[in-house]
Amino acid sequence: MASLFKKKTVDDVIKEQNRELRGTQRSIARDRAALEKQEKQLELEIKKMAKTGNKEACKMLAKQLVQVRKQKNRTYAVSSKVTSMSTQAKVMGSQVKMAGAMSTTAKTMQTVNKKMDPQKTLQTMQNFQKENMKMEKTEKKVNDTLDEIFEDSGDEEESQGIVNQVLDEIGIEISGKMANAPSAAKGLPSASTSKASTISDEEIERQLRALGVD
């Protein structure tokens, strides 16, 4: 029962119109087919009367043939008009849908605008910027403090730096454990190469022990 009193939507109306227009097109097509059949019969009758020499009958049949052909041409005109109406109905339906979409979008934008207070939004952005600047200042202070701490207690790093410098000078590389002393790399200055070749293994171990490296 509820479906009987349901309000028709635009789509429902357009579908009903399209069904009616399609039915009209089929009816016109049937009428045209009947007129074409009648047209052929009249043409045969005219030829038959012409063979017998019956001019009056030929004239009468010719007039009927003219009327039939006129009626057939009218069916083409009506069919074209129905097609145009169907196209217009589809265009109107599309326009109605577009209007509905625009209305929904407008309502959504109104709702969003009501929810968004420009002053409150601006205040939020300003607060964020302010707190962000505070955070940057705090981060800078922490970093400065850490730098001072590491600079004050950087003996271990300084020692490691000296060790690395010595190892670079004598051409030794460390990877987890002490590796065997390699020969000087190719392409190094001649002075470094000479220095690496004249220092003995015992001298290298003595220097490493003095620096605290086992």
* pLDDT average, residue stretch 129-139: 86
Of 3 and 6, more confident = 6
Q: Answer whether residue 114 shows pLDDT above 80.
A: no
Phi-psi region at 171: left, alpha or beta (left = phi > 0; alpha = psi -120 to 50): left
186: which DSSP letter?
T
Alpha-carbon 166 to chain mean position: 60
Q: Answer whether residue 179 shows pLDDT above 60.
A: no
10-24, 47-61, 138-152: least confidently modelled range: 138-152
User: The tokens 């009506």 sit on which residue?
Assistant: 78
Q: What is the pLDDT of residues 152-165, one digit of tens each?
A: 555 555 556 666 66
pLDDT band for 196, please (50, 70, 90 cuts). very low
Count CB neighbours of 119 within 10 A.
7
Are 172 and 204 in contact, with CB atoms under 8 Å apart? Answer: yes
Q: Answer whether residue 102 shows pLDDT above 70.
A: yes
pLDDT band for 194, please (50, 70, 90 cuts). very low
Rounded alpha-carbon distances, angstroms, from residue 136 to 58, 149, 150:
108, 20, 21
pLDDT band for 97, please (50, 70, 90 cuts). confident
Residue 184 is predicted with a pLDDT of: 43
Q: Answer whether residue 34 shows pLDDT above 90.
A: yes
> What sign results for the dihedral spanned by CA atoms 171, 172, 175, 179?
positive
In percent, the amount of the chain with pLDDT more than 70 equals 65
Q: What is the pLDDT of residues 37-95, one digit of tens each?
A: 999 998 898 888 888 888 888 888 888 899 999 999 999 988 888 888 888 888 887 88
* pLDDT average, residue stretch 202-214: 66
User: The tokens 């063979």 sit on which residue?
Assistant: 51
Distance CA 42, CA 94 (A): 47
pLDDT band for 207, please (50, 70, 90 cuts). low
Rounded alpha-carbon distances, angstroms, from residue 149 to 22, 82, 140, 155:
90, 91, 14, 11
| Residue type for position 170 | I
Distance CA 50, CA 56 (A): 10
* pLDDT average, residue stretch 139-163: 65
**Residue 177 host element (H or E):** strand 177-178
